[in-house]
A and B are shown apart, each in its own frame.
Chain A
Amino acid sequence: MASSGRGGAPEGGGGGRAAWARPGGLYGGLPARQGPPGLDARVLELGDELRREGVAIGTSELLDAFGALAEVTWTDQRAFRDALAATLAKSQDDRRIFDALFERFFFRAVEREAVEKGLTEQRFSGKGDRGREIDFDSLRESVRAAIRAGSDGEMRDLARLSIAALGRQGEGSGVIGVDVQRIRRSLGLKGEASAEPQSSGIDPDALPADRLRDFERHLRRELEREMVERTQSLPPARPLRELDRALPSAPLQDLAAVHRVAAQLKRRLATQGRDTRGRRRAEVVDVRRTMRASLETGGVPLRLRHRPQRPRRPELLILCDVSTSVTSASVFFLSVLHALHDAFRKLRSFVFVERISEVTDLFARERSFAAVSRAIASHAGVADVSGYTDYGRVWLEFLAEVVDDLGPRSTVIVLGDARTNGREPHAAAFGCVAQRAGRTFWINPEPKLYWNYGDSVMRAYEPFCDGVYECWSTRQLESFANALTDVRPGG
């Protein structure tokens, strides 16, 4: 294959342009370099960039990273990357962000270095350059073979060749994503449809989807490289898109915040609502501690020690409206629910639209927020997610389902907008729920101003609750957690 790799030693082809005489500006230019040259400063920059994406990196992590880098060989990219990953990214989510950033960061660092040093490479320009035309069919075949074989180096070379053959017609569209897709289509590359074992007809032309993505990644990278070289400037560093984080439906930053608030909520609820009546009666003598205490008095158990009264674990029942009228809020609510599942062990959760269904098992089974929300959207058994909320029916069903489990110890929290779409609110049924439960709270995602307008029947439910709160952000959730301490245990 005719190609010139930058991999090891870039050919200093047309290094005529001086490093400082760069046009810049158009495409972001070369941002000012932070700190001194050398790898140390780069690693710190990488840490900084990770922080900006919400990865918690402290000084100790950075020190560890330097310690780890001292132990591995830098010639092996994999070892270098793994050493940084092991010390900087300490959860799966963080690892995903790290992977995405690592690529981009070092790509940019290398390209900047190349532009500053005035290094360019000789490119194979397709026509006539070396007295050879590219044969499209053979190119297509070799690309196909390389993708099937999954050989990384070959894919890269072929990506460069494809760009030379197909990408230069009018200097490309200027938008890299468009160019990548155009080249892919011109090469006639198709990914396999998602593997359905039932579908018998397997397309012989189809390629493994993940390998094809690799090839596209190479194409993108080479196009970017060419662009950098042409414009002598780096594209601006954008924050990672949600998509890159592979958590499509979750606002990531918020998710972490919601988890924090949920932990706080847990402490509040744990220390709350302990009835103090008859405490002594229930206490049990702790023989071991009594004996130990008796050592002070020469082995005579003068003072009885009791088993510490463990704060009772609250039993939480959470009902979450997932209908379309609260779409924007329900992602937030689901993340609250998800966080609460992390914090509490004794928790039953329900989602409802027209009907109610319990999703406790689902949360227990699925760890990732994305999977949970997908599962709820597809088959939570709440009739139709796009349907109309029927609060009245929900209460009746809820009451029938959990009436025996409701006790003074249980706390019911409802997340919903109380918009019944004109149907019977069945406030009496809700009252019955609230009466049996120890405490009942309502969290409404709408501003207080809108309550009781239109079909909102907040007024009907409010008297039965120990507290009603408007809440659509983590800050408000926090104030809800704070308010809990002021509420006297009811029932």
Chain B
Amino acid sequence: MPLTNGSGETSGTWRWRWPKYPGTVPAPAASAEAMAARLGEVGYLAGESAALVSYLATRLGKPVLVEGPAGVGKTELAKALARATERRLVRLQCYEGLDEAKALYEWNYRKQLLRIQAEAADTGWERVQDDIFGEEFLLSRPLLEAISTPEPVVLLIDEIDKTDQEFEAMLLEVLSDFQVSIPELGVVKARSHPLVLLTSNNSRELTEALKRRCLYLWLDYPDVERELEIVRLHAPEMAETTARRLIEVVHMVRALDLKKPPSIAESIDWARALLLLGAEEIDAGVFERTMSIIVKHRTDLDVVAERVGVKLASDGLLGARRSA
């Protein structure tokens, strides 16, 4: 490893030399369908466009900007992609105030200080200076790590919309040229192209410059059939009719004007909860008791109880009359 992870096991003078990556990388998927199949194998049922864009990303070596409402599996896509392509996942969680020192690299100044003090008094300044700006004293943060590791990785930059525009500008070099400029060291170029995914909840417009460098993928809530598959994948013990009913109710809830519509993860949670409770049928009573799993706002709860609860109750009556 040319760049250590801050703890600095290596010693001696530092040279810029990439070691050969010992492992083998699986061949990239040959088509969008193959990519969908691979993602399916690792437990992610990708929609057509998600599979196609992932495939294009591996072929064209471009970052992908994934946008969509919360809880449609944007982050999950990156994880699945890492599993499917057998790459390590390097994740950078963005937040307001994230800066270079936390995202890119930082000099380990404590260690630099110790190094200087440990130095015998007669050592020339030149030598010390050469030493302390070596890779040994560099703390690599996720972005530099993704660039500098010899093994191919998937780099996930999560919730990019939470950062400032200045940070976006800093990303541009990494995203377009896959390199990082460190003034004291020079340019660190990527050995193998990392597969980069940026996710955004669309809470602000991203800059044109950033978008220009990315492929764009809009993920939306899946339709009933696909969500049914997803839920059945994660809660296989559930009967299909119950699962279908559940998804239909979730879609009904999503159609309402809510603060936070239920995500896919929440439908899965709900399915598991119903399994635990041993509920076979989703009627008004069951719904009332468990709806807090999918609806998580005080005002939303009222709306949902009123609209969906009533509908379920009337459905139940209809069903009872029909069977009678």
Residues of chain A having any CB pair with chain B under 8 Å: 56, 58, 60-61, 64, 67-68, 71-73, 78-79, 82-83, 85-87, 89-92, 95, 195, 197-198, 200, 259, 288, 291-292, 294-295, 298-299, 342, 345, 365, 367
Contacts and interface: CB of A to CB of B under 8 A. Distances in A.
Contacts of A291: 109-110, 113
B224 interface: no
Contact of B216 (A71, A91, A342): A91
Interface residues of B, number: 43
Given A68-B60, A259-B205, A365 B259 contact: yes
Interface string B25-61: 0000001100000000000000011001101100110
A299 B49 contact: no
B204 interface: yes
B212 A78 contact: no
Contacts of A56: 208
B307 A288 contact: no
Interface stretch (B185-193, B281-289, B308-316): B308-316
A197 B203 contact: no
Contacts of B125: 298
B53 A295 contact: no
B109 A86 contact: no
A82 B48 CA distance: 9
A57 to B, nearest CB: 9
A295 B307 contact: no
A342 B204 contact: yes
Max chain A C-beta neighbours (<10 A), residue from B109, B110, B213: B109
Contacts of A294: 113
B3 interface: no
Nearest to A200: B314
Contacts of A64: 60, 62, 215
A79 B34 CA distance: 13
A64 B217 CA distance: 14
A31 B67 CA distance: 38
B234 interface: no
Contacts of B62: 64
Contact of A367 (B59, B65, B203): B203
14 contacts: A60-B213, A61-B212, A68-B56, A71-B55, A79-B32, A83-B52, A89-B216, A90-B211, A91-B216, A95-B218, A197-B308, A197-B314, A291-B110, A292-B109
B287 to A, nearest CB: 13
A71 B29 CA distance: 11
A107 to B, nearest CB: 21
Given A68-B56, A299-B117, A86 B48 contact: no
B48 A92 contact: no
Contacts of B235: none
Contacts of A299: 113, 116-117
Nearest to B96: A345
Nearest to B49: A82
Contacts of B59: 71
A316 B101 CA distance: 30
Contacts of B259: 365
Contacts of B67: 91-92
Contacts, number: 90
A372 to B, nearest CB: 13
B127 to A, nearest CB: 13
Max chain A C-beta neighbours (<10 A), residue from B52, B255, B259: B52
Interface string B93-105: 0001000000000
Max chain A C-beta neighbours (<10 A), residue from B53, B56, B218: B56
Interface in B47-91: 48-49, 52-53, 55-56, 59-60, 62, 65, 67
A342 B310 contact: no
A90 B112 contact: no
Contact of A83 (B31, B56, B132, B314): B56
Given A92-B218, A365-B259, A86 B53 contact: yes
Contacts of B116: 295, 298-299
A259 B205 CA distance: 9
B160 interface: no
Nearest to B64: A86
Nearest to A71: B59
Max chain A C-beta neighbours (<10 A), residue from B32, B49, B208, B216: B216
Interface string B182-222: 00000000000000000000111100100111111110000
Nearest to B121: A298
B107 interface: yes
Contacts of A295: 109, 112-113, 116, 132
A71 B59 CA distance: 7
- The 10 A-B residue pairs with the shortest CB-CB distance, nearest first, are A197-B311, A90-B216, A90-B211, A82-B49, A86-B215, A71-B59, A82-B52, A86-B53, A299-B116, A292-B109
Given A83-B52, A92-B67, A72 B32 contact: yes
A275 to B, nearest CB: 24
Given A71-B55, A71-B59, A197-B308, A87 B215 contact: yes
B217 A86 contact: yes
A237 B31 CA distance: 35
Nearest to B255: A195
A367 B31 CA distance: 35
Contacts of B56: 68, 71-72, 83, 86-87
A292 B216 contact: no
Contacts of B32: 72, 79
Contacts of B109: 288, 291-292, 295
A67 B56 CA distance: 9
A74 to B, nearest CB: 13
A318 to B, nearest CB: 17
